[in-house]
Amino acid sequence: MSENLKINQTPIPGGVCAPKGFIAGGVHCGIRRNQSKKDVCLIAAECECTAAAVYTQNLVKGAPLAVTKRHLENGRARAVICNSGNANTCAPWGEAHAEAMCQIAAEILGIDENDVMVASTGVIGQELPIDPIKSAADALRISLSADENGSDAAANAIMTTDTFKKEYACSFALNGVECKIGGIAKGSGMINPNMATMLAFITTDVKITPQALQTAVRNAAKSTFNTICVDGDTSTNDMFTVLASGLAGNREITENSPLFDVFTRVLTDLCTLLSRDLARDGEGATKLITCAVYGASSPEAARVLAKSVVSSSLVKAAMFGSDANWGRVLCALGYAGVDFDPETVEVVFFSEAGQVKVCESGRGLPFDEEHAKRVLREDEINIKVSLQSGSPEIFGAALGCDLTYDYVKINGDYRT
C-alpha cells in the first residue's frame, strides 16, 4: 500500500453506528463501583458480517481473547460485547465467564453465541462477576440504538482511566458507491501495543472477504496502534476488531482488488485518529509527542526507531519538563536495534510555537534555551529525526506522551 495514497473522506457523526446495519449501547451493570460510569457495552449488526481481529502479543492473555479467536475461526461474526472494570485475565473461570458474556449477548440479539466477540478491560487477576451482566441484560437491550447515542454509550462503557471518549466516523466512496466506517477505542495506561490496556472496535458497511479484511486490519494496526507507547507496558487484553456488514453495496473487495489499498488506507486513517487520542490521553499526560524518522533503510525500520524514542522514559520526562535534552533522543535511537550511522543524525524539535534544530551530523548545535522551552511548552510536540541510511522519502512515525507525576499517582493505587 502506498503511504501517500489519499482518499476523499468526510467526517460524520455516529461512531460505530454510522455504517449501515449497526446498533450499539451501553449501561452500568455493577462491575464498577461508581454507578455513574457505564461498564458494559454491546455493538451488533443486523446481518452476518465479515470479521477480523488482532490481539496482544503478550504471552499472558485475557480469557476473552481466547474465546474471540475461536469464534472468529470462520471469519464471521455479528456482535461484540465488552465490559470495563475487570480484565478477566488470570482469573478463576475466565473462559467460562467470557463464553457466558457471549451467551448473554446472543440472547439479547437472538443470534448464535458463536457469532459474538468478547472483550474485557480493567483489573487483572480478579474473578469477573457474571450475575451483574446477566441482571443488566434487559437494560442493555433497551440501550441499543442505531444513532450516535448508541455509539456514545458504547464508547463510554469501555473507558477505564480514560479522561475522554475516543470515537470517529467518516464516509468515503468506492467506485462511486458511498461507504461508511466508524470506530471507538479505549486506552490511557498500560499502552505499548504490539498487537495495551487498549481496545478498538470498528464497524463498516463495506463488502469485503474475510481474508482481505484480516490483512487490512493487520496492516492498519502495524502503522497506527502498534506505534503508540504511553508507558512501555503491553497489556494482556489488547484487541482490535472490525465488523463489515457489506450493506453499502460495493463490489466485494479481495486482496487482489484494485480497491483493497483504498479501503486499507481509510481504515488506517481512522485508526490513526484513534491512536492519536490514545496517546494524548495517556495517564497523567499533558503533552502528545510525535516522533517522525526520515531516511531509514525501510518504513518498518523508521517506525522501530521512532517508537524507541517515544518509549524512552527519559525522553518522556524531558518533554514533561520542556527540556530540549536531545541526547536522550540519540540514546533511544541507538538501542532500538536498527542499524544507522550516528554521525549523520539530525534532530529538530517543533510545535506551534516554532522549531529548534538541536543536533546535526550527530553533534550538538548551539541554540536558544528560552526559545526551546517555548517550543516544548506546547501540548503537542514533534520530534523530527533525519538519517542518511536510505531515501529521505522513507518515513516512519510513532506516538507517545510525556511522563508526569500524575502517572505514578494514578497507578500507585489503581487496584484499590
Same domain, 292 and 276: no
Q: pTM for the whole thing? A: 0.89
> What are the CB-based long-range contacts (under 8 Å, 24+) for 219-224?
219/1, 219/264, 219/268, 220/264, 220/267, 220/268, 220/271, 221/54, 221/193, 221/195, 221/271, 222/303, 223/268, 223/299, 223/303, 223/396, 224/268, 224/271, 224/272, 224/274, 224/275
Same domain, 262 and 300: no
Residue 1 belongs to a domain: no
Residue 128 belongs to a domain: yes
Q: How far is CA 146 from CA 137, 143, 390, in A?
A: 18, 10, 49
The CA distance from 140 to 156, in Å, is 14
Same domain, 156 and 301: no
Same domain, 213 and 307: no
Same domain, 242 and 320: no
pLDDT in tens, the chain (416 residues): 445 566 899 999 999 999 999 999 999 999 998 999 999 999 999 999 999 999 987 888 999 999 999 999 999 999 999 999 999 999 999 999 999 999 999 999 999 999 999 999 988 999 999 999 999 999 999 999 999 999 999 999 999 888 899 999 999 999 999 999 999 999 765 444 443 357 999 999 999 999 999 999 999 999 999 888 765 555 577 899 999 999 999 999 999 999 999 999 999 999 999 999 988 887 778 999 999 999 999 999 999 999 999 999 999 999 999 999 999 999 999 999 999 999 999 999 999 999 999 999 999 999 999 999 999 999 999 999 999 877 888 899 999 989 888 877 766 765 55
Same domain, 265 and 310: no
Same domain, 256 and 319: no
Q: CATH number, domain at 59?
A: 3.60.70.12
Q: What is the domain range of residue 353?
A: 288-412
For 9-44, what is each residue's pLDDT tens digit?
A: 999 999 999 999 999 999 999 999 899 999 999 999
Same domain, 299 and 157: no
Which residue among 255, 280, 305 closes a domain? 280
Residue 52 belongs to a domain: yes
Which residue among 263, 280, 297 closes a domain? 280
Residue 361 belongs to a domain: yes
Which residue among 254, 280, 306 closes a domain? 280
The CA distance from 62 to 65, in Å, is 6
The CA distance from 180 to 119, in Å, is 24
Residue 3 belongs to a domain: no
Residue 405 belongs to a domain: yes
Residue 4 belongs to a domain: no
Same domain, 344 and 257: no
Same domain, 251 and 294: no
Grid cell for residue 319: 518533554
Same domain, 266 and 296: no
Counting beta carbons within 10 angstroms of the beta carbon of residue 2, is it exposed (0 to 12), middle (13 to 18) or buried (19 or more)? exposed
Q: Which residues are catalytic?
A: 197
Q: CATH number, domain at 330?
A: 3.10.20.340
Same domain, 266 and 347: no
Residue 101 belongs to a domain: yes
Number of structural domains found in the chain: 2
